[in-house]
Structure 1
Amino acid sequence: MKTATVKQLKDELKHNSTEELMHLCLRLSRFKKENKELLTYLLFEAHDEAGYIENVKQEIDLQFETINTDSYFYIKKSVRKILRLIKKYSRYSLKKETEVELLLYFCQKLKDFKPSIKRNVTLTNIYDRQIAAIKKIITGLHEDLQYDYTMALKELEE
């Protein structure tokens, strides 16, 4: 089966009634957890971005608390899992400010994590890559936001 392009889908959806669109959305939400999560964000959380960021930060805190610290292998797996969650939640929002906030929070949590990530090259590389990603995203933001996030980044790098 060949998948339709976004334009084709958009054109076809224009011809549907509100009732049909609602039915399609509900049917779509049944198939993938990510579809349901995106729909939840769009319907309930998109209007309150600050609240959304706080909810994601709480989720990050919870994930960091459950990390198995028996070996660096388990720590690396858990850190990568947390990073995947952050990327997914950032994609839902489509706002670069949200992504920067979440990545800064992640880096702060990783920096303060015990045992120290400085003893493991892979964890240090993950941290460094996220710092570089934050810097890249910051360059595309408004000047005032650039200044604020650059200050937060400098605090993190100290």
Structure 2
Amino acid sequence: MKAASLKEIKTELNHRSSNDLLELCLRLSKFKKENKELLTYLLFESDNEEAFVQGIKRQMDVDFEAVNSKTFFYIKKSVRKILREVKKFIRYSQNKETEVTLLIYFCLKLKDFRPSIKRNTTLTNLYNRQIEFISKKIESLHEDLQYDLKLELEELKS
């Protein structure tokens, strides 16, 4: 089966009743965890972005505490998993300020992680790539936010 284009889907959804749309959303949420998470964000958390960000930060704290730090192999796997989760939540939000805030927090947790990531080239490179990505994203924000976030970024670089 070939998937329809976004335009075709949008046109078809315009012709459906609200009850049909409700049924389609509920059916869609049954198939993938990401669909259900996105609907949860859109319905319950999108109106309070700050609480959403704080919830993700708390989850990151828990995830970093759970990292198996016996070998760098397990640390790398866990850190990549945490970053993947953070990026998924960033996609849900589509807010550039949220994106930068969460990535800065991720880098802060990674920098403070023990054993030090400086002893592993892969983790250091991952950290540096995120720092570069953050600095590019900051440029697209409002000037007041840029100043505050650049201060946090400089703290991470030092």
Question: What's the TM-score once normalised by structure 2's chain length?
Answer: 0.99
CA shift, 1:157, in A, is 1.3
Name stretches of at least 5 consecutive residues in structure 1 with no aligned partner. none
Bigger CA drift: 143-152 or 80-89? 143-152
d(CA) in 1 for partners of 2:97, 2:90: 9
Deviations 1:89-135 (A, max 9, x none): 00000001111000000000000000000101001001000000101
Other-structure match for 2:121:
121
Q: CA deviation at 1:142?
A: 1.2
User: Whole-Å Cα distance in 2 between the matches of residues 104 and 42 of structure 1?
Assistant: 24
Q: What is the Cα deviation at residue 155 of structure 1?
A: 1.3
Residue identity matched to 1:95: N
Instruction: Return the alpha-carbon distance in structure 2 between the equivalents of residues 3 and 88 of structure 1.
Output: 23
1:56 aligns with 2:64: no
1:154 aligns with 2:146: no
Aligned-pair distance for 1:156? Answer: 1.4
**What is residue 96 of structure 1 aligned with on the other side?**
96
State the match for 1:36 in structure 2: 36
Residue 2 of structure 1: how far off its partner (Å): 1.2
Amino acid at match of 1:101: T
**Where do 1:131-142 residues align within 5 Å?**
131-142=131-142
2:16 counterpart SS class: coil
> CA separation in 1, counterparts of 2:8 and 2:94?
22
- Percent same amino acid at aligned positions? 61
Question: Runs in 1 of length 4+ with deviation above 3 angstroms?
Answer: none
Any unmatched runs of 5+ in structure 2? Answer: none
What is aligned with 1:107? 107
Could you tell me how far 1:143 is from its partner in structure 2? Answer: 1.2
In the alignment, structure 1 residue 85 sits paired with structure 2 residue 85: yes
RMSD: 0.6
For residues 5 and 144 of structure 1, the distance between their equivalents in structure 2, rounded to whole angstroms, comes to: 39
